[in-house]
Amino acid sequence: MPITTCIFDAYGTLFDVAAAARQAAAEPDFAAIKDTWPDIAEQWRLKQLQYTWLRAITGDHTDFWRVTQDGLDWALQKTGHDNDLTLRERLLALYWELQAYPEVPAMLQRLKSAGLNTAILSNGSPDMLNGAVQSAGIGNVLDDCLSVESVGIFKPDARVYDLVGARFGCARDEVLFVSSNGWDAAGAAGYGFSTVWVNRAGEPMDRLPSVPGTVLGDLTGIPDVAGA
């Protein structure tokens, strides 16, 4: 069946998760991380994801804001900045204002102009997602923001992907799911979605039972993949 619905992961896919550390490093008050901010951003993101997986396995769910804070605290200790509470507060504040990747607004507008449904499906809590969408100014080209909080478990649990069909009344093969996380794109592929892995860093394919259907370097080509 043709694609009717395009679903996007949020963090790392539409929104640049390194933007908070990069922006803080450019501010005079935080010159101490001028050279180390990429390591902080990488460690923060890694632990944030690891904590979602571990909580999903153990059934000890909490909202994404909690794991975001926990991941940052680990990263700051790892990089020797755990005593800088002002830096911690600034990084957390900036996470609510993450920049969208440059191609995002025009890409989403092409999908909407073609009559396709567009939405976010994210581990993020609803208030975090709304803050990011508003900051990026893309609310007018998204039909919805679907959060795992409605099912109480993180991706790639199938109950999260179920939210798409429940919201849009579409079959699995009508959905194009887009993520910058290879494991997320693989999980969605196993679920039955058509999938795109946005592999900006040129990383190897994850060794998992399912693989993404398409691999792109950025989001520019998504409308073409969707048939828009």
Amino acid present at 32? A
pLDDT tens digit string along 202-219? 999 999 999 999 999 999
pLDDT at 177 over 90: yes
Structure tokens at 198: 């946005």
Chain length of the chain: 228
Where does CATH 1.10.150.240 sit in the chain?
19-95
pLDDT at 161 over 90: yes
pLDDT tens digit string along 112-135? 999 999 999 999 999 999 999 999
pLDDT of residue 1: 81
pLDDT tens digit string along 12-70? 999 999 999 999 999 999 999 999 999 999 999 999 999 999 999 999 999 999 999 99
Contacts with 193 (C-beta within 8 Å, 6 or more apart), sequence order: 7, 161, 164, 172, 173, 175, 176, 177
pLDDT tens digit string along 134-159? 999 999 999 999 999 999 999 999 99
State the average pLDDT over residues 169-198: 98
Catalogue the active-site residues: 9
pLDDT at 187 over 90: yes
Looking at domain 19-95, what is its CATH homologous superfamily? Putative phosphatase; domain 2 (1.10.150.240)
Beta bridge pairs of residue 6: 118, 176
Ordered DSSP codes for 147-158: EGGGTT--TTSH
Q: Is 110 left (phi over 0), alpha (psi -120 to 50) or beta?
A: alpha
pLDDT of residue 124: 96
Is residue 189 within 8 Å of 170, Cβ to Cβ? no
For 5-15+99-226, which CATH class?
A: alpha beta
Q: How far apart are CA 22 and CA 87, in angstroms?
A: 12
Is residue 123 within 8 Å of 64, Cβ to Cβ? yes
Where does CATH 3.40.50.1000 sit in the chain?
5-15+99-226
pLDDT at 228 over 90: no
pTM of the model: 0.95
Beta bridge pairs of residue 198: 216
Contacts with 148 (C-beta within 8 Å, 6 or more apart), sequence order: 64, 122, 123, 124, 154, 155, 160
Site of tokens 């520019």? 220
What element of type H or E holds 117?
A: strand 117-122
